[in-house]
Chain A
């Protein structure tokens, strides 16, 4: 009797967490799936339409544009926040005196603690054709023809948002890579030096394989982050001009809360959920497999 009550008594401590998760995280996900099968909005009762909302998505050019934009976001972020950040971290560790290294690390990290709203508005000012520095800098070096109304033109809006996002995140991932590199035993590098391997060789044959676990994690987080992106776009362009910078998150938001197509918005949410869930499962499988290998 006493052992039994002890075995259940422990649940009291975790109950608040489980209840909150059940009500505000898990239930909404399930409910969202159900809602995506109805046509409804804030003022009219729902009626069941089966997979019609998903058909709408398949035929909606903006949905595909959004998906493409998310994919571009993912690819650029992978190159910058995994590839470049890892190289940057290795350079910081290899070439920079430890005192200066700390200062640089702090500087590079700062954008990550600034809210996306602040960064987004700040960059919309930087891109602004009236007061922004980007066009002025181009004019100053004689590239007048390169100037744009960066967020106001369909051809440049998405790229400008992606660039802002890289500004915010490169330092953050670089710092995480620095930590991973510091965990590599120094002996490996010393042995490689003795064998005459230069810094580039060392990077590819020691650093890259030894931080593999962190790299996997970063790849996963970067890709799922790119498919969840919402704030940057909402703050800087709200998906415009003429839907050119629409991503799944903002298209969901617009359909749900501005155009009141709640059912269709729920279907978009389900698509986002499936994409990110698959990525998360891939991560679990990859890390587990690696654990087994080791």
Chain B
């Protein structure tokens, strides 16, 4: 806004000189605007329509699913959701909540400790410790599946919630520490140094000064971890066998093979599984994006 103080006076006579080209330009611009609007609208429909179809189909009966795939349901059949619930969705839901909530706490806490140690305590071989933590970013869970299978069995946590909680924590520590560390580095050192001068111990400085100041990034980290843990599939598939412990992503697969052609109930189950994260995203959009871009920018 402020930069264009001198340029218009130089440019304007040139620009307004030939009227015919300017009308061509206006038409061209209109066409371009139209093309852009069309593209964006088509894309929005392509993104949303499958989801809309999922939600609408979850209220239909089997005949409507077949005969009126594009139409609205004749009535709102909430019983589909009740059926999906008793077919296992509630059980899977509870399991997902347990694993997600527990691993949020462990991951964020352990990562915050690590970030505190890396940014505030001058530890010996700190560079090495940082390398070990961030190096984990380069390692993909798939590669570890087979050895973990034996390891979890010998630790007697195979086929328990703990298997997932421990793995979700271990594999997300690198990313979460990376996020929190980037934020802690930018916090003014004077504050915690003052606290320590006032007689706070390191531990008090962490709990009472640093951690509260990190609240925004802790929220972002927790949200991103929730997204990961709620949707994780490979570990849940391989390390849980007991149908009563299965989380949503794997449970839904089981349900699909059990219900086969009871389409509306399947759609209802999918809708129920997708809803929490969509709602969480719509509420906490800003925190989600901060987490993602904080991770990207540094």
The contact size tier of chain B is 35 or more
In chain A, what residue has the closest Cβ to B238? A257
Measured between C-beta atoms, what is the minimum distance from B73 to chain A in Å?
Answer: 14
How far is A64 from B126 in the complex, measured between Cα atoms in Å?
43
- Provide the residues of chain A in CB contact with B47, threshold 8 Å: 107-108, 110-111, 167, 171
Main secondary structure of the interface of A (DSSP, over half): helix
Select A228's contact among B7, B140, B151, beta carbons within 8 Å. Answer: B140
In chain B, what residue has the closest Cβ to A274? B143
- Provide the residues of chain B in CB contact with A194, threshold 8 Å: 4, 7, 11
Q: Is A76 an interface residue (CB 8 A)?
A: no
The answer to whether B250 and A29 touch across the interface, beta carbons within 8 angstroms, is: no
Mask of A92-129 contacts with B, CB within 8 angstroms, 1/0: 10011000000010111111011111100111011000
The contact size tier of chain A is 35 or more
Q: Is A74 an interface residue (CB 8 A)?
A: no
Select B146's contact among A108, A269, A277, beta carbons within 8 Å. Answer: A269
- Provide the residues of chain A in CB contact with B116, threshold 8 Å: 13
How far is A35 from B171 in the complex, measured between Cα atoms in Å?
21
How far is A230 from B141 in the complex, measured between Cα atoms in Å?
11
How far is A22 from B39 in the complex, measured between Cα atoms in Å?
48
Mask of B229-257 contacts with A, CB within 8 angstroms, 1/0: 01101100110000000001110110010
Select B285's contact among A8, A106, A253, beta carbons within 8 Å. Answer: A106
Measured between C-beta atoms, what is the minimum distance from A221 to chain B in Å?
Answer: 10
In chain B, what residue has the closest Cβ to A248? B142
The answer to whether A256 and B140 touch across the interface, beta carbons within 8 angstroms, is: no
How far is A12 from B110 in the complex, measured between Cα atoms in Å?
11
- Provide the residues of chain A in CB contact with B11, threshold 8 Å: 194
- Provide the residues of chain A in CB contact with B121, threshold 8 Å: 6, 9-10, 13
Q: Is A210 an interface residue (CB 8 A)?
A: no
Measured between C-beta atoms, what is the minimum distance from B59 to chain A in Å?
Answer: 15
Mask of A258-294 contacts with B, CB within 8 angstroms, 1/0: 0000100110011011001100100000000000000
Per the 8 Å Cβ criterion, residues 167-208 of A in contact with B are 167, 171, 175-176, 179-180, 183, 187, 190-191, 194
How far is A179 from B296 in the complex, measured between Cα atoms in Å?
10
Given the interface pairs A113-B227, A175-B289, the reply to whether A24 lies near B65 with Cβ below 8 Å is no
- Provide the residues of chain A in CB contact with B280, threshold 8 Å: 113
8 further A-B pairs in the complex, CB-CB below 8 A; given A14-B118, A104-B40, A125-B267: A14-B114, A18-B132, A21-B174, A107-B47, A110-B48, A117-B248, A262-B146, A276-B140
